[in-house]
Amino acid sequence: MKVSVFFMAAVAAGTSSAWAAGPYAITDLGNLGEAPSFALDVNNNRQVSGNSTITTTAAAAEGATGSRLRAFSWTGGTMTNLGALPGATTNRFARGYAVNDSGVVGGEFNNDASRAFVHQNGAMTGLTRLAGDNDRGVAQDINNAGVIVGISSNGTASRATRWTFDGSIYVPADLGSIDGTTTTSSRANAINQSGVIAGFSRDAGAATSQATLWSGGTVTDLGSLGDGNRFSQAFGLNGSNTVVGSSSTGQTVGQLIGTTSSTGITRAFAWSGGTMSELSPFNLYTTTNTGSTTNYHSVAMDINDAGLIVGNSQRIAGSPAVATLWENGVPIDLNTLIPADSGWNLLSAEGINEAGDITGYGTFGGQTRAFLVTVPEPATAGMLGIAAVAVLARRTRRGKQRDAVHTVRKPLCRANAAAVLVLTVLTCAPAAQAEVDILVYQSGGSVRTGAFDFGSSTALPGHRVFTSQLEALAGAPGAAFSSDPGWNAVENAAFLPSGASKLPGQVDVGFNLLAHPSIGRNLAFWDGTGPVTFDAVPGGEALKYSKGLASFIVADGGTNDVAGYTVARTNGGGYIHRHLEFALYGNDSLSNASLDAPTPGIYLLAFEATVQGFTEPADPFFVLLGNGVTSGQLGQAESWANATLVPEPSSAIAIAAASVLGLARRRRRFSQT
């Protein structure tokens, strides 16, 4: 029997990607006078951009004719009409496609002429097109550096365009295309904080347009689903350059359901590291699931740094029917995460921020209206600026049974047994007890690690050993899971030890897995009997780290170190809070089905933290994972690790560590006998 440990990223840089206990809160964003309203993006300050309808009276006052849709910005309960470009007369149509963390909105004005605009400091300004003589185009996205991407004309074709502010004006640049020409159409739909851009452009070899990534002057063809030569387009990407969008599969609806329909099937995708993975619609039509509410198509619109993807599922192509969240590839009806009696029917999720707040549109009171679904935050989260670890509430809706939520005593991400063969769906119980995570900071020009006790808001600089109990899931006899400890870097240096500093902004925080000299391997095992002696895992071992939907780093459990795993990128203030998922399997197939349970005992791993820009890693720290053992056995292993593996600290650190060690133990262990 081979035992494997599987790490999965669960919580985003600067926030938690897990879900709050109980249903999410949903906010009706209102409208500019009349329905409909559509929300298209949300920033990390819960500001939303989109478009809504003004009244005929308001339109007459403007002297406008035609469409009454106007771009809006919504902040703290107030929806604001963003107005018009200077000199606008009758056509004042506008959409606010994107909003950055400074509240700057990019979009499209005048749907007859499609004029790209940026709205900031209370004014709307046109963006010059590539040809230079007017502002024909569309601004699709804007990052926190103020770089705008979209589409504009070079006089011959509409081209993917990047606008950069030079101190006085926004200067356009053609991003190029897969086919290397300047005469075919392309579009940029998304830009991340590193300036990497996603959209689509013409691929001459495939004789169609395909999802495209622009990075550092390189144009990358992302291909398509199906045979790789189908039409595809990218709508969003995150800080890890995971790209989401939609693609033709090459299959028709008729082929799927056994009719003569020639409508092509479109499916959402996630692309990472050269691999495009299909994201099925919620309630997918199959030969054993043929009801009238099943769906054939899906589209992914946005993704955050935790890898949470939002979009919609469709039965009729181009007609969103179910706002959909994909967590590790598994589709979830967003309607199941809001109060069952809310009166809402959420049709499409268009944007998601780093806290997991989701915006889009649905029907409420017989009208199409913009919504914002938000993550509840406890008092400690508000104090520290740290989003709480929470639970994905799956409930019974429309007579269909969802997966049950199991409540535990501390944060513990779990896997949906139905999906764990390939992808792990995380749900996290509410934090009834204090959380103690790995703390990463800098001091004296070097990377340091310790622990951060969320219960007392205290940094523990001498803390080197972390413990966690794995838990088995009903229906998954071949696996056990835990999400502790998490990783934390505080934004407020007042929480750090004296003389220490917070991490720089926008740097990667990661770790190396060590074959520590004291244990001789990168994953070791003690069965919990007799004196503490860590040795080889029964039957061999393998350590896997999730790198998106289809990419892994693997350690063989031998005497080698495994280097270069990135946990998260700090935000502008040097902050992260991220949990990784440990999943211990009973053999090396990483499957729960028909397997022996993992061997009871305690599993030991050694790590060293790394931070981009620092040449040396931090001192090692250790994680002990208990599987089917008592708290006494885990405590025995913890005492051994502190005495055997941890270097003797200075007297000041030793006193501080000793004073909190018992506190951490009491708060983090399950009572087991």
Note the pLDDT of residue 479: 65
Q: Is 355 domain-assigned?
A: no
Q: Radius of gyration (Cα) for the chain, nearest Å?
A: 26
C-alpha span between 382 and 220 (Å, rounded):
41
The yes-or-no verdict on residue 460 having pLDDT over 90 is: no
Rounding to the nearest 10 degrees, give the CA dihedral for residues 325, 331, 333, 336: -90
C-alpha span between 404 and 552 (Å, rounded):
29
Strands 541-546 and 476-482, how do they pair?
Answer: unpaired
Rounded average pLDDT over 268-278: 94
C-alpha span between 398 and 291 (Å, rounded):
13
Note the pLDDT of residue 481: 72
Of 650, 507, 656, nearest to 572 by C-alpha is 507
Q: For residue 29, how many other CB atoms are within 10 A of its CB?
A: 21
Q: Which residue has the tokens 């009806």?
A: 333
Note the pLDDT of residue 178: 95
DSSP annotation of 204 reads T
The yes-or-no verdict on residue 421 having pLDDT over 70 is: no
Q: Give the count of domains, the chain.
A: 1
C-alpha span between 221 and 206 (Å, rounded):
10
The yes-or-no verdict on residue 20 having pLDDT over 90 is: no
DSSP annotation of 578 reads E
Instruction: Please check whether residue 334 is in contact with residue 348, taking contact to mean a CB–CB distance below 8 angstroms.
Output: no
Structure tokens at 532: 């503490």
Length of the chain: 673
Residue 530: burial class (beta carbons within 10 Å; 0-12, 13-18, 19+): exposed
Note the pLDDT of residue 475: 52
3-state secondary structure of 639: helix
Structure tokens at 561: 């170190």
Instruction: Please check whether residue 490 is in contact with residue 575, taking contact to mean a CB–CB distance below 8 angstroms.
Output: yes
C-alpha span between 74 and 81 (Å, rounded):
9
Q: Domain of residue 625: give its range.
A: 3-12+398-668
Q: Which residue has the tokens 């879900």?
A: 19
Q: Is the peptide bond before 538 cis (omega within 30 degrees of 0)?
A: no
Rounded average pLDDT over 485-504: 86
502 phi and psi angles, rounded to 5 deg:
-70, 165
Distance of CA 231 to the CA centre of its chain: 25
The rounded mean pLDDT for the chain is: 79
In order of 344, 363, 371, 493, 540, the CA distances from 27 in angstroms are: 10, 13, 6, 34, 51
Range with top average pLDDT, 58-67, 161-170, 470-479, 577-586 = 161-170
Note the pLDDT of residue 553: 54
Q: Is 248 domain-assigned?
A: no
First-to-last C-alpha distance (Å) of the chain: 27
The yes-or-no verdict on residue 236 having pLDDT over 90 is: yes
Q: Per-residue DSSP letters for 305-330?
A: TT--EEEEEESSTT---EEEEEETTE
Percent share of the chain, pLDDT over 90: 51
Q: Is 662 domain-assigned?
A: yes
Q: Is 33 domain-assigned?
A: no
Question: CB pairs under 8 A, 24+ apart, for 330-334?
Answer: 330/416, 330/419, 330/423, 330/425, 331/279, 331/280, 331/281, 331/282, 331/284, 331/298, 332/282, 332/392, 332/394, 333/282, 333/283, 333/397, 334/310, 334/358, 334/360, 334/373
C-alpha span between 545 and 565 (Å, rounded):
8
Note the pLDDT of residue 172: 96
Q: Which residue has the tokens 């790590």?
A: 607
Q: Is 432 domain-assigned?
A: yes
C-alpha span between 558 and 520 (Å, rounded):
8
Of 170, 206, 175, nearest to 190 by C-alpha is 175
Strands 436-443 and 486-489, how do they pair?
Answer: parallel
Residue 582: burial class (beta carbons within 10 Å; 0-12, 13-18, 19+): buried
Q: Is 293 domain-assigned?
A: no
Structure tokens at 109: 């004005």
The yes-or-no verdict on residue 349 having pLDDT over 80 is: yes
Q: For residue 474, how many other CB atoms are within 10 A of its CB?
A: 8
Of 309, 252, 254, 306, nearest to 277 by C-alpha is 309
Q: How confident is the model at residue 84 (pLDDT cuts 50, 70, 90)?
A: very high
Q: How confident is the model at residue 574 (pLDDT cuts 50, 70, 90)?
A: confident
Q: Regarding predicted confidence, which is higher, 385 or 145?
A: 145
Over residues 303-324, the pLDDT tens digits come to: 999 899 999 999 988 888 899 9
Rounded average pLDDT over 422-439: 47
Distance of CA 32 to the CA centre of its chain: 31
The yes-or-no verdict on residue 140 having pLDDT over 60 is: yes
Q: For residue 70, how many other CB atoms are within 10 A of its CB?
A: 29
- Scanning 516-564, the segments in alpha helix (DSSP H) are none
C-alpha span between 297 and 318 (Å, rounded):
9
Q: Is 644 domain-assigned?
A: yes
Residue 117 half-sphere exposure toward CB, CA atoms < 13 A? 30
For residue 663, give the H/E element and its range: helix 651-668
Q: How confident is the model at residue 285 (pLDDT cuts 50, 70, 90)?
A: very high
Q: Is 153 domain-assigned?
A: no
Note the pLDDT of residue 659: 34
Taking each helix axis from N to C end, the angle separating 651-668 and 631-644, rounded to the nearest 10 degrees, works out to 160
DSSP annotation of 618 reads P
Q: For residue 498, how many other CB atoms are within 10 A of its CB?
A: 8
Q: Per-residue DSSP letters for 186-197?
A: EEEEEE-TT--E
The yes-or-no verdict on residue 387 having pLDDT over 60 is: no
Rounded average pLDDT over 71-98: 92
DSSP annotation of 475 reads T
Residue 641 half-sphere exposure toward CB, CA atoms < 13 A? 29
Over residues 506-550, the pLDDT tens digits come to: 899 989 888 888 888 888 889 999 999 998 887 755 555 544 333
Of 428, 518, 420, 525, nearest to 477 by C-alpha is 420
